[in-house]
Amino acid sequence: MRKRTRPSPPTVRPAAGERGDPQDAGALQGRHGGARLILPNGLNIACRVIDISESGAAIATDQRPEIGTPVTIGKTPGRVVRHLEDGFAIEFMRLQHSDFLEENVTDG
């Protein structure tokens, strides 16, 4: 009797501009601008967006809020999920629509 084999699942490759990391899913490439970051104490500071996607952003700033701290970047609320060498990462409270993402987060 011949053993039946199942076909291999298709290989999924990242789309152009994506790194294949689930955290980078939907990441926008290209220029990002400056942004305004609002901390829980009301402090409003200028920062630079390193990377942005529908689910969050990486921010360059000398501020280091604790992980879990609620923040607002532009008009978009989120929370700090990770510290980076030159800033921190924010997870947005809700997924953002890609058509309005940069408009809602950056100054430009």
We report the CATH number of the domain holding residue 40 as 2.40.10.220
Look up residue 44 and give its amino acid. Answer: N
Strands 56-60 and 70-73: what pairing? Answer: unpaired
Domain limits for position 71:
26-91
pLDDT at 57: 95
- 99 belongs to a structural domain: no
Q: Tell me, what's the pLDDT at 3?
A: 59
- pLDDT grade for 101, boundaries at 50, 70 and 90: confident
Which of 61, 55, 108 shows the shortest CA–CA distance to 79?
A: 55
- Is 108 a residue whose pLDDT tops 90? no
Would you say residue 98 lies in a domain?
no
Rounded CA-CA distance 35/24 in Å is 20
CA distances from 72 to 8, 19, 21, 107 (A): 45, 26, 25, 13
Tens digits of per-residue pLDDT, 20-75? 343 444 444 444 579 999 999 999 999 999 999 999 999 999 999 999 999 999 99
In a domain, 85, yes or no: yes
**Assessment of whether the complete model's pTM goes beyond 0.85:** no
Q: Does 103 map to a domain?
A: no
Contact by Cβ (8 Å): 58, 49: yes
**Is 14 domain-assigned?**
no
pLDDT (0 to 100) of residue 33: 78
Look at the chain and report how many structural domains it folds into. 1
CA distance 10 to 98: 27
